[in-house]
Structure formats: C-alpha cells, structure tokens
Amino acid sequence: MKKSNRTRLILVGVGILLVLLGVRGLALGLIGQTAQATVVKVEQAVTQQDSPMDHNYQISYRFSVNGKDYTGSFTRKKVFNTATLPSAGSAVPIRYLAAAPSVNGGPDAGPVGGLVLGALGLFLLFLGVKPAKAAPAPVPAESPSTDSPA
C-alpha cells in the first residue's frame, strides 16, 4: 500500500508539532523556573469533545519576570469539587523558561509528558518520511526459444 503525499505531509506536520510540544514539556520540567502567578480567570472548559459533565476547568494566570507581564493557562480535568479550584486573585505555582518566560505552564508541567509526546512525534515523523516499500518487479515470462535445429 503506497502512502500519498498528502498523508505523508500530515504525518510529518503532526510529528513536528508533537516533537515541539515534547521539547517544551521536557524543558519546563527539567530546567523551568518556578514562580507564583495570579489567577485571572477560572472557567469551565467545554469543547466539542468535552461535555459539561466532564468537569474540566481552564485556569488563566498572569505573572511577572523582570518587570514584564506574561500570561498563560492550564486545564484541570475531572474536578468534581469546585472548592479545590483556585479563585480569581489567588496565587498558583507555575513553571517558565528563564530565557523565554512566554513559554510557561501549570504546576503539572513535567518531563514525562514531554518524553511521551516527543516519542510519539518522532514515530509519526518516521512514518511520514520512511519511503514506501517498492513492489517487487514483475518477472518477465520466458519466451519460447526461436532456435530450432535446421
């Protein structure tokens, strides 16, 4: 079965995206700095894939590094007791890259998720770049001998 160029392009694109997300997760987990951020907004996250019964919440925050403000957000899933959610104005721990504070994440940013995403991304890249197996060349049929004794 031969892969079309469109399928290859999609695999490579998704693979690159997952590798970048994996590198981001690894960097935040391994060399990220911890800071306290101020919660700006907490709202229930309902998308096409989620239902209100999933109880997922998007927590938006703001923090400062060297006098410059940065924003970010993270999701808490399966929150059945909303009293455990932070409220607007409260402090939450976050992680950010000192060299690029705009790359930041919630308190659960860790290297394990980055490893998983990166490995999956590399696998998809491999599938997208790997050449398709060539079909074996047909063996020409033997033609009858034209040499006849005269």
Cβ burial 125-140 (10 Å sphere, 16+ → b, else e): beebeeeeeeeeeeee
What are the extents of the domains in the chain?
Answer: 5-129
Statement: residue 119 has pLDDT above 80: yes
> What does the radius of gyration of the chain's CA atoms come to, in whole angstroms?
26
Average of per-residue pLDDT values in the chain: 83
The CA-to-CA distance between both ends of the chain, in Å, stands at: 51
pLDDT at 127 exceeding the cut of 60: yes
Q: Position 64: which residue type?
A: S
Q: For 31-80, write each residue's pLDDT tens digit.
A: 888 999 999 999 888 766 666 677 888 899 999 999 999 999 988 888 88
How much is the pTM?
0.67
More confident residue, 82 or 120: 120
Query: Which residues, 6 or more positions from 55, have their beta carbon under 8 angstroms from its beta carbon?
Result: 44, 77, 78, 79, 80
pLDDT digits (tens, 9 = 90+) for 5-24: 888 899 999 999 999 988 88
The pLDDT value given to residue 45: 80
